[in-house]
Structure 1
């Protein structure tokens, strides 16, 4: 029974990450996104060539150009040339 519960918890943890938004930085220098989730605001540093996952259950994100967008948790933010596109 314990193994069944552990397997179920693992599936929930893995499944939760599958629906997180992601940000990919195609630039040669790091970029920072301002993420507001659940009333808490944090800076998310995305290194050059790096992809990070964030925002599993919806959030607001301020892009490098200052635009603010609402995310549901399934989007991909692509940063290139200092500009971000949401797909």
Structure 2
């Protein structure tokens, strides 16, 4: 029983570091997010219906409509109608 508890705790600890924000594009056309992480900007292009993980340690993201949001790395950005919303 003790071995099972220890194994479970190790699995939870290992999985905890793998969290990242995700983005899903529900639009029928490609959309781009601008991600600012650690002072560097990158563009994250999402095809129609695509989902991607990014920003594991927190970042700022500029949505397709220009809104700027701060993420901690656990959120989901849902893009619909050209507007990004945090879920």
Would you identify which runs of 4 or more consecutive aligned residues in structure 1 move more than 2 Å? 14-17
Unaligned segments of structure 1, at least 5 residues: 1-7
Count of residue correspondences: 76
CA shift for structure 1 position 15: 4.1
Unaligned segments of structure 2, at least 5 residues: 1-9
| CA RMSD across the alignment | 1.4
Larger radius of gyration: 2
What TM-score comes out, normalization by structure 1 length? 0.81
Q: Which residue of 2 aligns with 1:56?
A: 56
Q: Distance in 1 between matches of 2:46 and 2:17?
A: 21
Q: Distance in 2 between matches of 1:29 and 1:86?
A: 19
What TM-score comes out, normalization by structure 2 length? 0.81
